[in-house]
A and B are shown apart, each in its own frame.
Chain A
Amino acid sequence: MTKSELIEIIASNQQHLAYKDVEVAVKTLLEQMSEALSSGERIEIRGFGSFSLHHRPPRIGRNPKTGEPVALPGKYVPHFKPGKQLRERVNDGRDRPIRSK
């Protein structure tokens, strides 16, 4: 399911809203989540899960072409921990094939 398919489903669930408003709302929501994470704030959605940052310490990498060592600074990466309801529902659906699209 893509973002535009998700927007269509939400729009059909909330028919009193204009499609355009649902589209702006979903994009705003994702933007707000990205903003939170990029300012180091966690996201906590009960029954869905939480998003936080994990730290990756600095390391010495290598230029794959020349083999030359390169110092890579530490960084943060987004991490998602599924909540109980999501975990259970996903697992309960395991008799159905995983769709590739």
Chain B
Amino acid sequence: MALTKADMAERLFEEVGLNKREAKELVENFFEEVRAALEAGVPVKLSGFGNFDLRDKNQRPGRNPKTGEEIPISARRVVTFRPGQKLKARVEAYAGNEQ
């Protein structure tokens, strides 16, 4: 079972008292505004959770794993997530065996 937007909206409805439509809209808005910032070249820093950083990668040689054919991997911009100290510490404590 994975956490989804529907679960998040449900909790905002129950715990924060937004109505269902507002809750759904807020969750949608949250992820959309993070995407929009990153698209605009703006890294996103959510303290206690983590940072979404941007990196520009140069073109590099690649290979089609099926055919072995050489094809260059084009220059691109990628997003990376760096978990914050607090999240890392909480996750590290997880001893689990589910994943």
- A→B interface (CB under 8 Å): 1-3, 6, 9-10, 13-14, 16-17, 21-22, 24-26, 28-30, 32-34, 36-48, 50-53, 55, 75-80, 82, 85-87, 89-94, 96-99
> Which residues of A lie under 8 Å from residue B75 when comparing CB positions?
94
Question: Count of A-B contacts with CB under 8 A?
Answer: 177
Q: In the assembly, what is the distance between CA of A85 and CA of B5, in Å?
A: 16
Q: A-side binding surface: helix, strand, loop or mixed?
A: mixed
Size bin of chain B's contact surface: 35 or more
- B→A interface (CB under 8 Å): 1-5, 7-8, 11-12, 15-18, 22-23, 25-27, 29-31, 33-35, 37-50, 52, 54, 56, 75-81, 83, 86-88, 90-94, 96, 98-99
Indicate which residue in B30, B45, B78 contacts A90 across the interface (CB closer than 8 Å): B78
| Contact between chains at B26 and A14 (CB < 8 Å) | yes
| Contact between chains at A30 and B88 (CB < 8 Å) | no
